[in-house]
Amino acid sequence: MTRPRLAAAIVALMLSACQTAAVAPPGATSELQVAQVLATADAADPHSFARPLEARVANVALDLTVDFAAKRVGGTATLDIERRPDAREIVLDSKGYEVSRVTDSSGRPLDYRFGARDENLGSPFIIQLRPDTKRLVITYTSAPDAEALQWLTPAQTAGKQQPFLFSQGQSIFNRSWIPTQDSPGIRQTWEARITVPAQLTAVMSAPAAADPVTQGSARTFTYRMPHPVAPYLIAIAVGDLKFQPLGPRTGVWAEPATLPAAARELEDTEKMVTAAEQLFGPYRWGRYDMIVLPPSFPFGGMENPTLTFLTPTFIAGDKSLVSLIAHELAHSWSGNLATNATWADFWLNEGTTTYAERRIVEAIYGEKVARQQVALGIDAMNKAIEDNGGAAGADTRLAVDLKGRHPDDGLTDIAYEKGAAFLRMIEANVGRERFDAFLRGWFDRHAFQPVTSAMFLADVRQYLVKGDQALEARLQLERWVYQPGIPSNTIPADPQAFTDVDAAVARAATGSLPTDLWPGWTTDERLRFLNRLPRKQEKAQLDRLNQAFGLNDIGNQEVLFAWLDLAVANRYDPAVPSLERFLTSQGRRKFVRPLLKALASDQRWGRPIAARIYPRARPIYHPMVTQELDQLGLR
Ligand code: BES
Ligand code: ZN
């Protein structure tokens, strides 16, 4: 067995060691080999303190009360563990939660301690085990500044009457409010009883296990996830929430003020689930519901199982941004069924999902739209290569080295777009029919299990290449995954994808704008146009653009961002009021981070603007966003 394959096998063994569903990979390794590879530790998750081969969490049962006044969730976490008989302790991940007591299932106290704190990872939480300990009961509360949680005042919601709480676990944030082993390779079933003020609703990323029970001024909700999932996928939202069904197994939660527009925008969701099943196999999670969060939500979407979390900024009124739903839905296979074993293989989650997203878009909205989104993706990929050190940049590899770094350092369009391009390249070489069968098989063979780059390559070789030396050479598999830059066999964008837009971009260089065409263009066509304009623009030309297309007041948030990005790069004063509105009305990281960074690094023009806006905008930004932006020194 070659070394990468061995490492892959070890990771699979190690991470699903005690999981009943786990099957040893072909050519399973001996105990001795396991020990040898573990000694080199290159297969372990560098972002977790857990030692799952000694003792691992198999089920988490939370019983928590949500205290809005104190900004804390507190109660108990009961952990069922699987362990080697001689294990003396179990190591959990922690970042800031406060523990008052740990006992076993019969109430006997267990000793515990916290190890040294790492800035990114938090502290190991080490609990002594007795020879017979199988269950731990941890009494704890989260800290008011827990990284995963955002507490919103009523004023920060759409309804303005009730407070709101939501969590964001990916990548390593759940260790701020859930005492468990926070590694994507250590899958756990889980359940939760959540008690909230009676006028509020608590929803989670799992099926409801019972009807809510009201007692006095409190209401308790119960959820249970019967499948083992990566712990970053445990999520909660609490607020004034109402539900609207969209189809037999789809629906949307939102604040009452947002619900009608959300439901209209999401009307194609049920069709998307059906299309996705046709492509990738049965949807295994029961329902596919979504929640539209307040504008603070730091992402476009988050694929929390059974309940995708969404930014309200995708609501454009014309369904033009719903490829976001195709994306989060696709994670129900790529990411939630077959999950990156460690964050180094994040591209397996996001690249596969980005490829799958466009297949769903093609099935629902047609080939032309999908081809255009592929072309936009290729522009984004090339930009990501540039932004990450060019064709030789270490972070332009798909499998990234994140040791000693925060996993979110690997969160670039390389994972998304180079990952998707890799899959498109394989598809083009083996044909769609064979590739579709392969992808479906990949999800089936690895359902509810961690996966690595090496496992993916092994599967490509076993099920597609099958010893065909010419094909093996054509694919350049190792080159794609482990080397920087874009290999020579990448499939270029269709040059016809945006024919008239590209012609308009060329004409714009001579000062003539596509005034007649713009009104008929789709959002993707408008994005192509704005993003392909030369980055350096004269004020007079920006004036003409702004006037012709009403860009400062455009409702579509993606188009507005593309415009503001161009405006900031050119110190365009007339866009500043619009910029200020944009930055203070939503907290999507992809939008606010580049704009504020660009402003802050422009000492003369931008920095004073950023220094004025940031303190006003900051209260609505999620802790994971402010943590980074605070470094800009704008406060
Ligand atoms: N899982 C990601 C969001 C994420 C990634 C959160 C890494 C934390 C760490 C989600 O599926 C995603 O990719 N969202 C994108 C939208 C998508 C259409 C590209 C986003 O939020 O912009
Ligand atoms: Zn994603």
Domain CATH number, residue 145: 2.60.40.1730
Closest residue (by CA) to atom 22 of ligand 1? 300
Atom number in ligand 1 closest to CA 299: 21
Question: What pLDDT band is residue 410 in, cutting at 50, 70 and 90?
Answer: confident
Please indicate, yes or no, if residue 130 is contained in any of the structural domains: yes
Please indicate, yes or no, if residue 393 is contained in any of the structural domains: yes
User: Does residue 222 have its Cβ closer than 6 Å to ligand 1?
Assistant: no
Strand, helix or coil for residue 473:
helix
Share of the chain above pLDDT 90, in %: 92
What was the pLDDT predicted at 33?
40
* CATH code for position 517: 1.25.40.320
What was the pLDDT predicted at 517?
98
Strand, helix or coil for residue 356:
helix
| 64 and 205 together in one domain | yes
User: Does residue 171 have its Cβ closer than 6 Å to ligand 1?
Assistant: yes
Last residue of a domain, one of 332, 362, 384: 332
Q: State the pairing for strand pair 208-215/218-229.
A: antiparallel
Please indicate, yes or no, if residue 41 is contained in any of the structural domains: no
Distance, CA of 308 to chain centre: 10
Please indicate, yes or no, if residue 445 is contained in any of the structural domains: no
Q: List CB-based neighbours of ion ligand 2 within 5 Å.
A: 350, 353
Structural domain containing residue 327: 245-332
Residue owning tokens 């800035």 = 119
| 608 and 565 together in one domain | yes
| 324 and 397 together in one domain | no
DSSP calls for 72-113: EEEEEEEEEEEE-TT--EEEEEESS-EEEEEEETTS-B--EE
Q: What's the whole-number mean pLDDT along residues 266-279?
A: 98
Q: Is the dihedral of CA 594, 600, 606, 610 positive or negative?
A: positive
CA of 538 to the centre of ligand 1 (A): 34
At 111-145, the pLDDT tens digits run 999 999 999 999 999 999 999 999 999 999 999 99
Last residue of a domain, one of 279, 309, 332: 332
CA-CA distances (angstroms) from residue 491 to 397, 486, 525?
A: 17, 10, 21
Q: Which residue has the higher pLDDT, 291 or 7?
A: 291
What was the pLDDT predicted at 409?
83
Q: State the pairing for strand pair 55-67/188-197.
A: parallel
Please indicate, yes or no, if residue 328 is contained in any of the structural domains: yes
| 534 and 508 together in one domain | yes
What was the pLDDT predicted at 195?
99
Virtual torsion, Cα 416, 418, 419, 421, nearest 10 deg: 120
What was the pLDDT predicted at 351?
98
CA of 486 to the centre of ligand 2 (A): 21
| 485 and 561 together in one domain | no
At 563-599, the pLDDT tens digits run 999 999 999 999 999 999 999 999 999 999 999 999 9
pLDDT surpasses 70 at 80: yes
Q: How far apart are CA 510 and CA 566, in angstroms?
A: 18
pTM of the model as a whole: 0.95
Strand, helix or coil for residue 60:
strand
Strand, helix or coil for residue 71:
coil
| 477 and 598 together in one domain | no
pLDDT surpasses 80 at 21: no
* CATH code for position 475: 1.10.390.10
Sequence-ordered list of residues with C-beta below 8 angstroms from that of 499, at least 6 positions apart, any chain = none
pLDDT surpasses 80 at 2: no
Active site residue: 416, 572, 614, 621, which one? 416
For residue 472, indicate whether it is catalytic. no
The end-to-end CA distance of the chain, in Å, is 55
| 196 and 91 together in one domain | yes
At 511-536, the pLDDT tens digits run 999 999 999 999 999 999 999 999 99
Task: Give me the number of domains the chain comprises.
Answer: 4
User: Does residue 328 have its Cβ closer than 6 Å to ligand 1?
Assistant: yes
User: Does residue 324 have its Cβ closer than 6 Å to ligand 1?
Assistant: yes
Please indicate, yes or no, if residue 46 is contained in any of the structural domains: no
At 165-202, the pLDDT tens digits run 999 999 999 999 999 999 999 999 999 999 999 999 99
pLDDT surpasses 50 at 616: yes
CA of 332 to the centre of ligand 1 (A): 13
| 221 and 102 together in one domain | yes
CA of 34 to the centre of ligand 2 (A): 32
pLDDT surpasses 50 at 465: yes
CA of 334 to the centre of ligand 1 (A): 13
User: Does residue 301 have its Cβ closer than 6 Å to ligand 1?
Assistant: yes
For residue 232, indicate whether it is catalytic. no
Atom number in ligand 1 closest to CA 408: 9
CA-CA distances (angstroms) from residue 489 to 448, 466, 486, 513, 602?
A: 32, 20, 8, 36, 39
Share of the chain above pLDDT 70, in %: 93
Ligand nearest to the CA of 308: 1
Among 97, 80, 106, which Cα is nearest to 139's?
97
To test the pocket of ligand 1, the residue of 290, 350, 408 to mutate (highest count of ligand atoms within 8 Å of its CB) is 350
| 327 and 225 together in one domain | no
To test the pocket of ligand 1, the residue of 147, 272, 299 to mutate (highest count of ligand atoms within 8 Å of its CB) is 299
Question: What pLDDT band is residue 43 in, cutting at 50, 70 and 90?
Answer: low
The pLDDT mean for the chain works out to: 94
Q: Is the dihedral of CA 228, 231, 235, 236 positive or negative?
A: positive
| 615 and 534 together in one domain | yes
Atom number in ligand 1 closest to CA 407: 9
Active site residue: 328, 362, 417, 558, which one? 328
pLDDT surpasses 50 at 26: no
User: Does residue 327 have its Cβ closer than 6 Å to ligand 1?
Assistant: yes
Please indicate, yes or no, if residue 452 is contained in any of the structural domains: no
User: Does residue 133 have its Cβ closer than 6 Å to ligand 1?
Assistant: no
At 83-114, the pLDDT tens digits run 999 999 999 999 999 999 999 999 999 999 99
Question: What pLDDT band is residue 322 in, cutting at 50, 70 and 90?
Answer: very high
Q: Would you give the DSSP letter of residue 69?
A: T
CA of 302 to the centre of ligand 2 (A): 7
| 321 and 360 together in one domain | no
pLDDT surpasses 80 at 625: yes
Among 359, 348, 358, which Cα is nearest to 480's?
348
CA-CA distances (angstroms) from residue 100 to 177, 358, 400, 433?
A: 14, 48, 38, 57
Closest residue (by CA) to atom 6 of ligand 1? 170
| 480 and 388 together in one domain | yes
Closest residue (by CA) to atom 14 of ligand 1? 301
pLDDT surpasses 60 at 15: no
User: Does residue 233 have its Cβ closer than 6 Å to ligand 1?
Assistant: no
Last residue of a domain, one of 309, 332, 355: 332
* CATH code for position 265: 3.30.2010.30
Please indicate, yes or no, if residue 437 is contained in any of the structural domains: no
